[in-house]
Structure 1
Amino acid sequence: MTEPLSFVHPTPESPWGTYLMQVDRVAPYLGHLSRWIDTLKRPKRALIVDIPVELDDGTIAHYEGYRVQHNLSRGPGKGGVRYHPDVTLEEVMALSAWMSIKNAAVNLPYGGAKGGIRIDPKKHSIKELERITRRYTSEIGIIIGPQQDIPAPDVNTNAQIMAWMMDTYSMNTGATATGVVTGKPIHLGGSLGRVKATGRGVFVTGREAARRINLDLQGARVAVQGFGNVGSAAAELFGQAGAKIVAAQDHTGTIYNANGFDLSELMPHVKATGGVGGFKGAEVMGNEEFWDVDCEILIPAALEGQITADRARRVKAKMVLEGANGPTVPSADDILADRGILVVPDVICNAGGVTVSYFEWVQDFSSFFWTEDEINVRLDKIMVGALKRIWEVADQHHITLRTATFTVSCERILQARVERGLYP
């Protein structure tokens, strides 16, 4: 057993602490591979960069940025970049580790990576964000690349941010490199279906899980926390399947309608105002009341650590679909399991985004692009197959879907580590 990382002191319910507990739970099911388990507890590489920029008013500001590559045994690093005032090295480490698990869960030829800048993008102009993005890309350029580490959008980043990243990397290397990032604008090598891919993956895994537990989606009540790309896309697809979206929460507030929202009115409202708050087709709820809503399906699609032990005791859903990364702390996980509430974990539930990012990367290399129907069919097939394998392992060992997903993924990662061997 090696010493813990000296620069991080996680608590049991911090992001990195949560991840470590999840790995420990897998050890009994890894057999001869368990001797390599510390490989999963240490990121391969963590880069901290200073980002100096000139703001619009002429002042010079400095921001801290990160890029962490957790594991590269199965291929180049893959994971998003988030802009958020609460970004820390420990959070990015955990997110990169979850990307390792997620990529292996759907059997993509990637390792796990993640990046972030501690910044509130709402306080900056478009020009300032462009300068910040370009400087950050230049600073992490020493470890990213189409065959090294491929960033993508995450919280508060989008196709425009990816276009700036691609352009900066391309200018610094002297050749256009569309494959250095995914989630780009379509006309710069982006993929059709990418924007809604994560939400579509949440729906596909939710649909399959509902079949397993004999839950009819027709008339099923759904509560969604986070109504950005992921939450709104999932809500739309569940609505099309006959479910009712009865509660929604984001940074603008919490709304409720027992009969279900009219999504044809809610979606334009969110697009126009930036959130669900103020929507006239619903009543306002207190933010904490969201966790008491009567529903069959709960979709946390915001930030990590949202379902605490206290909230887990109050959840009334039959099924939790984790659209966000790490939304459920380990103690809450145990409570939900004890209460018989099925949790489809983030590392498979929201893997639709990285799967279509993989499709984009493949299309960029071949310069041959697929239709959206082709992409959705391929995505559906991969997600259904991955969940089927995970459920088999869960049934075999009588463990939760989360532990089963980690078991499948850790086996794949550590087998690659064994076969590659140690250098030198």
Structure 2
Amino acid sequence: MTSHQINPFHVAQRQFDQAAEMLNLPDDIRAILRVPQRELTVNFPVQMDDGTTQVFTGYRVQHNLSRGPVKGGIRYHPSVDIDEVRALAMWMTWKCALVNIPYGGAKGGVIVDPKQLSIGELERLTRRFATEISILLGPEKDIPAPDVGTNAQVMAWIMDTISMHRGYTVPAVITGKPVNVGGSLGRVEATGRGVMLMVREMARKLDWSLEGLRIVVQGFGNVGSTAAYLLHQLGCKIIGVADASGGYYCAHGLDIPAMRAYTDRQSFHLLEGYQAPGVERISGSELLELECDVLIPAALENQITGNNAERIRAKLIVEGANGPTTPDADAILGERGIIIVPDILANAGGVIVSYFEWVQGLQEFFWDEQDINEKLERIIVGAFDQVYAMATQRQIPLRLAAYLLAVQRVADANTTRGVYP
């Protein structure tokens, strides 16, 4: 599902440069914000079940710490590389600033296909990687979370590993944990719920009815399946979804609860083998180009590019993934009148509820799920209103408006703190 020809860090820098130019940022601030502050590469051995030892490569990148400790997920995927992690860390900085929570951006990753590991190998890899990057981690320094290829169990292993090093339990060192070890209610659904809220808010602005709204979702993992399910509950018609096994299309609408139940029964939560009356199998590229009202790319970066942007037939794109649309595609889609709710806004629900989990872990005081969802909605809808107002006022795309708000906040923090000699 990803394009290896496009460097995601170069995409992230181009997006930043455009905002920096419009904001007239001083050259010294541009130089600081254009690159990560810290980068750690680790090569670490893991003993496999057959007794052999394999060496894996992992990264932890901290982009900017001016607004607080850094926050960002850990990704396990074969395509992970340092530039991808740099880009994701930068996007996290802007995301946290846009929704105005006191974090900078970070990201981590290991070059591995977790589906090829046993549960024991996955645990040993996770604990060794956590140990290697532990010099950076801490509730007051760097707080990881789940991302592609990782989940609540992986987060629990990381939390336990750091706690063993410290000699006491440190629940706030990581978010996205299981609830029984200090995780937050509502965290699993948070990113998908945020995507749903952005579809709802844009539908209101465009005077669209949610009933029967035709939606295509690329990616049926945690984010995509949750967004699809919540939108299905609102009366939307999910006509297409895709995951690593391919695309699934039904003009009359897919049975999303049945598809979620199917993936829950599978070892790797894939739709592989799913069949139902009226459901057609299509390719991932065909799915992106289906005629629909809303397209939600919720897989990996670089999915909508200059090569396929002319063939996108959605009226609205709400980015559930990080960096799914390249700048070249942005320009083409803009000329065609297709509206994009950008990733740093649309998928910010996860980091918002991660912030709630961190606060709860520090205080050992927990909110119920209704409180969490209400707080999430208030913050992300408030950020949407600010972005929409700026876009309307300045007659610019939503992405650029979001970047202007976020980059200015980070630049102001850096300016206020100054440069340490």
Q: TM-score range by the shorter chain?
A: over 0.9
Which of 389, 411, 414 lines up with 1:414 in the alignment?
Answer: 411
Please name the residue that 2:191 is paired with: 198
Q: Deviations over 1:273-326 (max 9, x none)?
A: 322333222111133211221110000000000111232111111100100000
Q: Does 1:45 align with 2:38?
A: yes
- The DSSP-based 3-state class of the residue aligned with 2:307 is helix
What pairs with 1:218-229 in structure 2 (closer than 5 Å)? 218-229=211-222
- Among 332, 337, 356, the alignment partner of 1:335 is 332
Amino acid at match of 2:275: K
* 8 Å Cα contact 2:218-2:288 kept in structure 1: no
Alignment of 1:117-136 (within 5 A): 117-136=110-129
CA-to-partner distance for each residue in 1:72-114, whole Å, 9 max, x for gaps?
Answer: 0000010000001111011000000000000001001000000
Q: Distance in 2 between matches of 1:95 and 1:309?
A: 21
Q: Is the 8 A contact 1:178 1:188 kept in 2?
A: yes
Q: Given residue 281 of structure 2, which amino acid in structure 1 is its aligned partner?
A: V
Deviation at 1:241, TM superposition (A): 1.1
Match of 1:277 in 2: 272
Identify if the C-alpha distance between structure 1 residues 12 and 278 changes in structure 2 by more than 3 Å, giving closer, same or farther.
closer
| 1:143 match | 136
Q: Is the 8 A contact 1:33 1:411 kept in 2?
A: no
Given the alignment, which residue of 312, 316, 331 partners 2:313? 316
CA distance in 1, matches of 2:86, 2:413: 21
Larger mean CA deviation between 293-302 and 12-21 belongs to 12-21
Whether the 8 Å contact between 2:216 and 2:294 is mirrored in structure 1 is yes
Matched, 1:266 2:262: no
Shift of 1:215: 2.0
Q: Which residue of 1 aligns with 2:359?
A: 362
Q: In structure 1, how many angstroms separate the alpha carbons of the residues matched to 2:230 and 2:19?
A: 33
- Structure 2 counterparts to residues 16-415 of structure 1, below 5 A: 16-31=9-24, 35-273=28-266, 274-281=269-276, 282-415=279-412
Q: Relative to 1, partners in 2 of residues 1:146 and 1:293: Cα closer, same or farther, differing over 3 Å?
A: same
| Contact preservation (8 Å) 1:302, 1:323 | yes
The CA RMSD measured in Å over matched residues stands at 1.3
CA distance in 1 between counterparts of 2:61 and 2:96 reads 15
Residues 374-420 of structure 1: CA deviation (Å, up to 9, x unaligned): 10000000001001111122122221111111110110001000111
CA distance in 1, matches of 2:5, 2:16: 13
Tell me, in whole angstroms, the C-alpha distance in 1 between the residues paired with 2:328 and 2:361: 42
Ranges in structure 1 where 5+ consecutive residues have no aligned partner: 1-10
> In the alignment, residue 260 of structure 2 is paired with which amino acid?
M
Instruction: Report the 3-state secondary structure (helix = DSSP H, G, I; strand = E; otherwise coil) of the residue aligned with 2:187.
Output: coil
Task: Tell me which amino acid in the other structure corresponds to 1:276.
Answer: L
The Cα of 1:12 is off from its aligned counterpart by: 9.3
Q: Verify the 8 A CA contact 2:288 2:295 in the aligned structure 1.
A: no
After TM superposition, give the deviation of residue 27 of structure 1 in Å.
2.0
Moved more, 83-92 or 274-283: 274-283
- Percent identity of paired positions between Structure 1 and Structure 2: 51
SS of residue matched to 1:205 = helix
Aligned partner letter, 1:277: E
Which range moves more in the overlay, 203-212 or 66-75?
A: 203-212
SS at match of 1:309: coil
Give distance in 2, aligned partners of 1:128 and 1:177: 24
Conserved 8 A contact 1:54-1:61: yes
Q: Distance in 2 between matches of 1:34 and 1:384?
A: 33
SS in 1 for 2:308: helix
Once residues 95 and 306 of structure 1 are traced to their aligned partners in structure 2, the CA distance between those partners, rounded to angstroms, is: 15
Shifted more, 182-191 versus 290-299: the winner is 290-299
Which AA in structure 2 matches 1:372? E
One-letter code of the match for 2:337? Answer: G
The answer as to whether partners of 1:12 and 1:18 remain within 8 angstroms in 2 is no
What residue is the counterpart of 1:5 in the other structure? none
Instruction: Measure, in 2, the Cα distance between the counterparts of 1:346 and 1:40.
Output: 19
Within 2, Cα distance between the matches of 1:277 and 1:165?
30
Q: CA separation in 1, counterparts of 2:389 and 2:31?
A: 26
Q: Structure 2: how far apart are the matches of 1:408 and 1:228?
A: 30
Q: Is the 8 A contact 1:254 1:276 kept in 2?
A: no
- Quick check: 1:223–1:295 contact (8 Å CA) kept in 2? yes
The alignment partner of 1:73 has SS state of coil
Alpha carbons 1:27, 1:34 under 8 Å: kept: no
